[in-house]
């Protein structure tokens, strides 16, 4: 049997979610090591000193420790749904940068020391308006099929919507709300969200993949 890559992951982390979704669609099975963020295993820190998830360790020892890099690596091996045709790097950068900035501050008010007052929830919502506009003419962000961009953005928009579901449902972004619900209800999302206890050395390997 070919040795599987090792994936350090955390179930609820949006970066880890999108990496797992790409690995699953690419048909790449991994040995999953669920991480407890408050007690990170030394093996994770040894593989990637920044010790954030996800981290993918390939059988040859190569370490990929950025979620987008894991997605693109997986899809370069096998891209059955053509996700790489919809890789909008600029849109993803906005999501991972300024949108994530406002998302964190809307989700965890009071955690950050800031000068002035910013309505971070309103600022984040404003950044979603271009997506609503795109979805007026297509079912997904880059066309009629889900692609890498949809999956890269989805976990963060889900996290934002779940800050206050009633508030989000009342906003004038009906196409984005439908897009989000379709991702949440997808077989792919269900497949990558099983629960596992934190991994420690000596545990039996957990095969994760289609």
Instruction: Identify whether 1 is part of a domain.
Output: no
Q: What is the CATH number of the domain that holds 44?
A: 3.40.30.10
Q: pLDDT tens for the chain, 210 residues: list them.
A: 468 999 999 999 999 999 999 999 999 999 999 999 999 999 999 999 999 999 999 999 999 999 999 999 999 999 999 999 999 999 999 999 999 999 999 999 878 766 665 799 999 999 999 999 999 999 999 999 999 999 999 999 999 999 999 999 999 999 999 999 999 999 999 999 999 999 999 899 999 999
Give domain status of residue 147, yes or no: yes
Position 20 in a domain: yes
φ/ψ (deg, to 5) at 206:
-110, 115
Total domains in the chain come to 2
Q: CA 121 → CA 19, 50, 101, 107, 161, distances in Å?
A: 26, 29, 10, 8, 10
Judgement on whether residues 199 and 182 belong to the same structural domain of the protein: no
pTM: 0.95
| Cα atoms found within 13 Å of the Cα of residue 20, Cβ hemisphere only | 30
196 and 155 in a common domain: no
Same domain, 185 and 90: yes
Q: Does residue 154 share a domain with residue 115? A: yes
Are 179 and 93 found together in one domain?
Answer: yes
| Nearest CA among 134, 142, 132 for reference residue 88 | 142
Domain span holding position 171? 83-189
């Amino acid at each position: 049997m070919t040795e599987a890559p090792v994936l350090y992951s955390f179930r609820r982390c949006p970066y880890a979610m999108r990496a797992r979704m790409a690995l699953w669609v690419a048909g790449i099975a991994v040995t999953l090591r669920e991480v407890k963020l408050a007690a990170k295993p030394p093996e994770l820190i040894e593989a990637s000193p920044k010790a954030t998830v996800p981290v993918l360790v390939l059988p040859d020892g190569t370490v990929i420790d950025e979620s987008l890099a894991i997605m693109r690596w997986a899809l370069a091996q096998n891209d059955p749904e053509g996700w790489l045709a919809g890789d909008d790097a600029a849109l993803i950068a906005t999501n991972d940068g300024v949108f994530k900035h406002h998302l964190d501050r809307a989700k965890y008010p009071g955690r950050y020391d800031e000068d002035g007052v910013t309505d971070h929830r309103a600022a984040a919502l404003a950044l979603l308006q271009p997506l609503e506009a795109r979805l007026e003419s297509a079912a997904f962000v880059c066309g009629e099929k889900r692609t890498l961009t949809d999956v890269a953005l989805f976990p963060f928009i889900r996290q934002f919507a779940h800050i206050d579901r009633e508030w989000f449902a009342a906003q004038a972004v009906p196409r984005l709300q439908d897009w989000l619900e379709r991702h949440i209800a997808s077989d792919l999302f269900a497949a990558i969200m099983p629960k596992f206890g934190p991994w420690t050395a000596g545990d039996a390997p957990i095969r994760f993949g289609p």
